[in-house]
Amino acid sequence: MTDILTTARQQVLEEGRGLDAAQALECLSLPDERLEELLGLAHEVRMRHCGPEVEVEGIVSVKTGGCPEDCHFCSQSGQFASPVRAAWLDIPSLVEAARETAKTGATEFCIVAAVRGPDKRLMSQVKAGIEAINAAVDIQIACSLGMLTQEQVDDLSSWGVHRYNHNLETARSHFPKVVTTHTWEERWDTLQMVRGAGMEVCCGGLIGMGETLEQRAEFAAQLAELDPHEVPLNFLNPRPGTPFESFPLVEGTEALKTIATFRLVLPRTILRYAGGRELTLGDLGTKDGLLGGINAMIVGNYLTTLGREATRDLDLLTELQMPIKALSKTL
């Protein structure tokens, strides 16, 4: 039987074809003593098919908390007794957040709202925010506003939104254990409309929500089928008051195997560090991931949890001689 990493070297590195679900499961199941080898191959794939640049992004929540959905990992759900309460961010604060993000060297600023989907009030505020940011800051604008109608997709595209984030969160087979108030398919439909409107598709998920290794491999393959421009990888940071509050953190070695495997499934995709890496990986693991397939990161804080200081991440990129991707005005 051919060794999976030998197969992956030929198939992914040389031919540029990502691994399928069965092959991904083999990588996720490798013993810990082969982790360094797995990470090394993933880094070679990243460098060959994506190059050394790292895309840096900041995010801000324009509407926090009070969400009607029951995503079991999320402290912004209005259905759980979590400490996060509903709040709105005004336009001047949104512009200031964009300015601070741009100062870090980030080229992408994502406006996020904790909603099932945007209502007229939120769409109006987002439009005003986009106009104000564009007048003040030279940065690309992304949005993450939940599930959309075709009219809303068309509006966001016409306002110049560069990229839309809507995470599938987990494998289709595991999704009903994570969310019950909407379906995986509803999320998939929004992503197809986003792609059809010409916006870049950003879609990832959260590792460590009780999924099996088989489901983790399934999820990677489903993302490959979607073929998003960017995949943010989050690791569960169990939040008080949510149904997943007692779930254990993902082990560092397990997280690194996941990162490398997703790179081998998605050889040309932007693979972004997102929430939870500070707890799961720490400083050393963060570096290992950047040398194991990651080529983008969110700097600063997340929506309801604290991240690392942006300067620490930027200093690490300098140490690794990974330049920050320059701002592009073309999609």
Task: Give the whole-angstrom CA distance, residue 315 versus residue 56.
Answer: 13
Judge whether residue 53 has pLDDT over 70: yes
CA-to-CA distance for 68 and 33, rounded, in angstroms? Answer: 44
Quote the tokens at residue 185: 């398919």
pLDDT-derived band at 115 (thresholds 50, 70, 90) equals: confident
Taking residues 219-248, what's their average pLDDT? 95
From CA 208, how far away is CA 40, in angstroms rounded? 23
Of the pLDDT bands very low, low, confident and very high (cuts 50, 70, 90), residue 78 is low
- Rounded-to-integer distance, Cα 158 and Cα 154, Å: 6
Given this model, what pLDDT does residue 316 score? 87
Lowest-confidence region among 102-111, 117-126, 167-176, 230-239: 102-111
Q: What is the pLDDT of residue 48?
A: 98
Judge whether residue 66 has pLDDT over 80: no
List % helix, strand, coil for the chain (3-state, nearest 5). Answer: 45, 15, 40
pLDDT value, residue 80:
61
Rounded-to-integer distance, Cα 298 and Cα 268, Å: 19
